[in-house]
Amino acid sequence: MKKTARPGRLAYAIATLAVGTILPTQVALAQDAPAAETPAPETPAPAAKTLPTTPVTPSPPEPPITPPQVLHTVAPTTPASDGGFGEVSVELFVVVEEDGRIGAVSVARSAGDAFDAAAMKAVRQWQFAPAQRGNVPLSSRIRVNVDFKAPEAEPDAAESDGAAAVAVTSPSSPPELPAKAAPASEEPAREVIIEGERTSRNEGRTASDFHIGRSVLAAAPRQEGAEVLRSAPGMYIGRGEGPAVAHNYMLRGFDAEHGQDIEFRVAGLPINLPSHIHGQGYADLGFLIGDTVQELRINEGVSDPKQGDFAVAGSVDLRLGVEQRRRGVQLRSSYGSFNTFRQLALWAPPEASFETFGAAQYTSTEGFGENRAGQSGSAIFQHRFGEGELSYRAIGILHTARADIAGVVRRDDVESDRVCFTCVYPYATARAQGALSQRFLIGLFADYEDAEGASGQLGAWLGYDNFRLQENFTGFLHESQTLARVAGLGDLIEQRNSTLSLGLSGHYRSSPFRPTSWASVTLELGAEGRLDAIDQAQNLLDAAVRNQTWDRRIDASVKGVDLGVYGELDWSLTDFVRWRIGLRADLLSYEIDDRLGNFAPLSRPQDAFIPGFRRSALGLAIGPRTSLELRPLDWLSLLAAYGEGYRSPQARLLENGESAPFTKVHSGDVGIRITQGDLLRLSLGGYLTRLSDDVAFDASEGRLERIGRTERLGAVAHVTSRPLPWLVGSVSATFVHATLLEPPPASAEEPQPPFQAGQSLPFVPPLVVRADLGAERTFVPSLAGRPFAGRAGLGLSYLSSRPLPYGDFSDPLSLLDASAGLSWGPLELSLEIFNLLNAEYAAVEYSFPSDWDPDDGVRPRTPARSTSAGAPLSWMLSLGVTL
């Protein structure tokens, strides 16, 4: 793929070591042509000096990698005491961040402390444009030689040719020690390490594919790592059930609840849990440590054959790493509202790949209202090792959280001052609400990319998740189905779920085949599979009597296998047309041991059988994926895509021998993308998504239930701009018309269910807006020898009023967060303020019958709005040190 010898110029050799979707690329530049001289002693670049930039192929199936560009160089000052040296060369590693800033600078080959310091001081003053893949900026690490020559050397300076391996020969600062640049031909082979994703699988398929880099993710404050997702267009996440339960996600017209409609991957590890008792595709991202989230990749819709189960609204890949300028040992202590304490310890060896780090974080809080205290801890370790065509990445994640839950309160009770908005009902069954989560994930990925451009990956991962929840949505409405005339002890539902998962994945992408001079094609084949062993139970507990179990609702185990294969042809037809067409097939099988099946002692006490209903089912989901990109102009892309995806069923609901009924997804996207460098990146897109069988939250059982066929017709606009080097902004707006096409089948209880054909889907906000703004400047380059810098950020999320079941509407929601920080050398002090407007809002809102007044002698049966409070105005002060 990416080997192109350019006579007289540069020879490229790209070794790609794929790691899931997080793939570093190493570009080794062997210079065989004389390099230009480096201007001396400080020379503003009249124009951007371009590093050796070579398209990977004439018609590459993937956007070419553009190494960093030198915009401005500063020659080093020769140490005065070393005037008698001959030729001295210092080789440096220089990290160029995705926003062009210089990150870590370290010595690759020393020439002594004095020369090393002089070289580093000079290089730190250089200015770069970042490396890019296509139009996406990447963080990169380049190798720079800084040569010092004695005065008797030839005075002619060589221009650097703009190469990353700029050969800099220092003019001596003292006049008597002029220096010159060494001829580039004397340079050893240089290396540019592009620490971005190697393959561009996620790029360019639709206008709703977004890559959001660290600069935007770090712009606005985040209360926790998973909140980086709020920067994704059309995405909103909330915490309705405390820090030990997964967030509630919404993405472009999908109320994805705890993850049912979004395929999440973190560093290549799949996060969704199939057939989870608390929601299909349950995805708890509570383990994320914000400082380690390097990039967010969102594929909205279905267009990529790699998208598998739960990619209904789209898929999200979170790439972990630590940017070079923050590498080292970092300790940060934070304290804030509601006695919230957070301690972060992060270790990222400066010399290692940006993917190599270890991080641990502990958080405790008393919560912003009654019954909201919680603690959590996360540890993430990731290490990339090996060089050349094959490299490896190992990752481990360990997380646990325990938190009380205030649960929901009826709005009419709040309005009548019976219970306060952030309070909990004064019953044992309400105060006993809480959750525990435990998760362990490890993975090992081997990435391969040869000099011809073929690439591939093999990976294996192992995960264990344990979840326990006690939650009461409805008060006192349940009665025992197991014990006669036992009822009204509080609807404290206990849900338990443990999942042991093992997965394998692999894919191979061929080097380009060129049937004509104007066309090339690559073939990608992939397979991935997972086995899940799930144990789950649901009971009713009497919290007033030491959690006595007074009813059993679910006691089951599920064994599931998901085997997916896919293939894609990626055609580049001239420089203007790119067409991908692929197919994905998933075979899913289930074995269900429903230990309470056929159990109906109250109605059939004389039946003679042993309770239980064991069954098995299997199904096949097949869907095409295709996308077309037209690039009539360098700065303009027209995109269209179509794909068919699926969501696996809740296995426990399957019948014996049933051909597993998948939720079939038909997704189409059209749009345009405009790119004007860093100044403007604009995407405008429209989409239509249809689901064969959707689900919505049913509070009476605390889980998802079917609601019928649905459709989303929407539009997305996203703009990112960096008008100034120190200022970055991002704004997105997603509008959707989400409707129910066909209501669920009638039941005896509800011959005409509350959902009607053509109605707006419950819980889906028609409009979601997100804005991020971040500024970062160095105020004083050297204050007592260390740079003094500051940063500030704003984040705004807006959700329009959401329809609720039974014709009700939620109130709109607007959250404004702000942050400011100062750093001086290794020290950083920051203040973050969340919900700056102090809006009192509902983190989640439902409409269903409930009875939280068990002693009034009447039972409400009509739906009532119930809410779980969102966090009010709060602050967090942090003090960190990076060693």
Partner 1 sequence: MDAFFGGDAVNWNAWQGAVCLLCSVSCANTGRNEVTLPLFLAGTDVSTPLMSVGDIPVRITRADLAFGPLYLCAGNTAGDLCDTARLEWLDTAVVDTTSVTPREVGLLMGVSGPVRSWMSDLGISSQLTRPEPYVLEAAQQLDGSSFVLEGSADVNGVNITFSANVPIQQNDETELGVPVIRQSSEPNFHELTGRESGLTLHFDPSAWVSRIDFRPYAQGCTSTNGCLEPLILTPDSEAYRSLTIALMTTGRPHFEWHDAD
Between residues 666 and 737, which has the closer beta carbon with respect to partner 1?
A: 737
- If one asks whether residue 473 binds partner 1 (CB under 8 A), the answer comes out as no
- Asked if residue 756 binds partner 1 (CB under 8 A), the reply is yes
Alpha-helix runs per DSSP H in 739-839: none
| Least CB distance to partner 1 at residue 305 (A) | 32
Select 777 or 861, whichever has its Cβ closest to partner 1. Answer: 861
Other beta carbons less than 10 A from residue 748's beta carbon = 5
Beta strands in 243-327 (DSSP E): 248-251, 254-257, 262-266, 269-270, 293-300, 314-320
Q: What angle do CA 165, 169, 172 make, to 5 degrees?
A: 150
> Which member of 863, 866, 868, 878 binds partner 1 (CB under 8 A)?
863
Q: Report how far apart, in Å, the C-alpha atoms of 673 and of each of 302, 368, 370, 683, 773 are.
A: 18, 42, 47, 4, 21
Shortest reach from residue 754's CB to partner 1, in Å: 5
| Contact by Cβ (8 Å): 356, 332 | no
> Which one among 18, 738, 773, 789 touches partner 1, defined by CB under 8 A?
738
Kindly state the smallest distance separating residue 252's Cβ from partner 1, in Å: 14
Q: How far is CA 393 from the centre of its chain?
A: 18
Task: Choose, by CB under 8 A, the member of 748, 784, 785, 883 that binds partner 1.
Answer: 748
For 756, residues 6+ apart whose C-beta sits below 8 A from its C-beta are: 740, 743
What's the CA gap between 231 and 796, in Å, rounded?
9
Which residue of 421, 461, 590, 697 would you call a contact of partner 1, by CB under 8 A?
421
Q: Least Å distance between CB 269 and partner 1?
A: 37
Residue 867 · residue 826 · CB < 8 Å: no
- Please enumerate in sequence order all residues whose Cβ is within 8 A of that of 724, keeping only pairs 6 or more positions apart, or say none: none
Q: Closest distance between partner 1 and the C-beta of residue 663, in Å?
A: 21
Q: Which of 82, 366, 742, 808 binds partner 1 (CB under 8 A)?
A: 808
- Which residues ranging from 823 to 852 are in contact with partner 1 (CB under 8 A)? 837-842, 848-849
Q: For the sheet with 131-133, list strands across it.
A: 65-66, 131-133, 136-138
**32/701 with CB nearer partner 1:** 701
Nearer of residues 26 and 429 to partner 1, judged by Cβ:
429
Count of positions on this chain that bind partner 1 (CB under 8 A): 65
Determine which helix (DSSP H) or strand (DSSP E) holds 118, and give its type and residue range: helix 113-123
- Residue 15 or 813: which CB sits closer to partner 1? 813
Return phi, psi of residue 11, to 5°: -105, 130
Smallest distance, Å, CB 708 to partner 1?
A: 12
Our finding on whether 538 is near partner 1 (CB under 8 A) is no
By CB under 8 A, what part of segment 700-729 binds partner 1?
Answer: 700
CA distance 654 to 650: 7
Q: How far is the CB of 217 from partner 1 (least distance, A)?
A: 26
Q: Rounded to whole angstroms, how far apart are CA atoms 636 and 575?
A: 13
Which of the ranges 346-354, 385-393, 671-679, 744-752 carries the binding residues for partner 1, by CB under 8 A? 744-752
In the complex with partner 1, the residue whose CB is nearer, 155 or 758, is: 758
The answer to the question of residue 242 lying near partner 1 (CB under 8 A) is no
Q: For residues 591 and 701, which CB has a smaller minimum distance to partner 1 in the complex?
A: 701
Interface with partner 1 includes 782 (CB under 8 A)?
no
Residues 6+ apart with CB under 8 A from 176: 83, 151
CA distance 440 to 139: 29
What is the DSSP secondary-structure string of 530-580?
EEEEEEEEEEEEEGGGTTEEEEEEEEEEEEEEEEEEEEEEEEEETTTEEEE
Q: Closer CB to partner 1, residue 211 or residue 712?
A: 712
Q: Does 754 bind partner 1 (CB under 8 A)?
A: yes
Interface with partner 1 (CB under 8 A), residue from 452, 801, 827, 877: 801
CB of 864 to partner 1, least distance (A): 10
Least spacing, CB of residue 512 vs partner 1, in Å: 45
662 or 763: CB nearest partner 1: 763
Which of residues 264 and 421 has its CB atom nearest to partner 1 in the complex? 421
Residue 376 structure tokens = 């959590």
276 within 8 A of 469, measured Cβ to Cβ:
no
The 10 Å CB-count burial string (b at 16+, else e) for 651-665 is: bbebeeeeebbbbbb
Contacts of 71 (CB under 8 A, 6+ apart): 45, 48, 49, 100, 126, 127, 128, 129
Residue number with CB closer to partner 1 (366 or 840): 840
Determine if 735 is a binding residue for partner 1 (CB under 8 A): yes
Strands 10-16 and 25-31: antiparallel
- Closer residue to partner 1 in complex, CB, 583/767: 767
Q: d(Cα 439, Cα 376) in Å, to the nearest integer?
A: 12
Shortest Å distance, C-beta 540 to partner 1: 12
Q: Smallest gap, in angstroms, from Cβ of residue 242 to partner 1?
A: 20
* Site mask for partner 1 (CB under 8 A), range 302-331, x = bound: ------------------------------
CB 227, min distance to partner 1, A: 19
Report d(CA 247, CA 180) in Å as an integer: 59
Return the H-helix or E-strand segment holding 459. Answer: strand 455-471
Residue closer to partner 1 by CB (options 130, 803) is 803
Distances (CA, A) of 589 to 144, 155, 257: 55, 75, 24
- Contact call for residue 734 and partner 1 (CB under 8 A): no
Q: Which residues contact 1 (CB under 8 A, 6 or more apart)?
A: 14, 56, 57, 60, 61, 62, 452, 453, 454, 455, 511, 512, 522
Nearest C-alpha neighbor of 465 from the set 374, 399, 550, 373 = 399
* Residue 731 makes contact with partner 1 by CB under 8 A: no
488 lines the binding site for partner 1 (CB under 8 A): yes
By beta-carbon proximity to partner 1, the closer residue of 535 and 808 is 808
Among the listed ranges 93-101, 564-572, 651-659, 756-764, the one in contact with partner 1 (CB under 8 A) is 756-764
Q: Of 266 and 813, which CB lies nearer to partner 1 in the complex structure?
A: 813
CB closer to partner 1 out of 754 and 825: 754
Kindly tell me which residue out of 176, 752, 784, 883 binds partner 1, with binding defined by CB under 8 A: 752
Q: Cβ of 216: how many Cβ atoms within 10 Å?
A: 25
* Cα–Cα distance for residue pair 655/464, rounded to 1 Å: 27
Cα–Cα distance for residue pair 90/69, rounded to 1 Å? 21
Q: Which stretch binds partner 1 (CB under 8 A): 169-177, 400-408, 643-651, 750-758?
A: 750-758
- What one-letter code names the amino acid at 366? E
Q: Closest CB to partner 1 among 134 and 762?
A: 762
Question: Is residue 684 a contact point for partner 1 (CB under 8 A)?
Answer: no
Look up residue 1 and give its amino acid: M
| Least distance CB 707 / partner 1 (angstroms) | 11
* Site membership for partner 1, residue 47 (CB under 8 A): no
Interface map 344-373 toward partner 1 (x if CB under 8 A):
------------------------------
Q: Output 507 or 712, the one with its CB closest to partner 1.
A: 712
| Residue 766 binds partner 1, judged by CB under 8 A | yes
If one asks whether residue 485 binds partner 1 (CB under 8 A), the answer comes out as yes
For residues 512 and 471, the answer to whether their CB atoms sit within 8 Å is no
Q: Does 414 bind partner 1 (CB under 8 A)?
A: yes
Q: Note the residues at the interface with partner 1 (CB under 8 A).
A: 411, 414-415, 421, 476-479, 485, 487-489, 700, 735-740, 748-752, 754-756, 758-760, 762, 766-767, 800-801, 803, 805-814, 837-842, 848-849, 854-863, 867
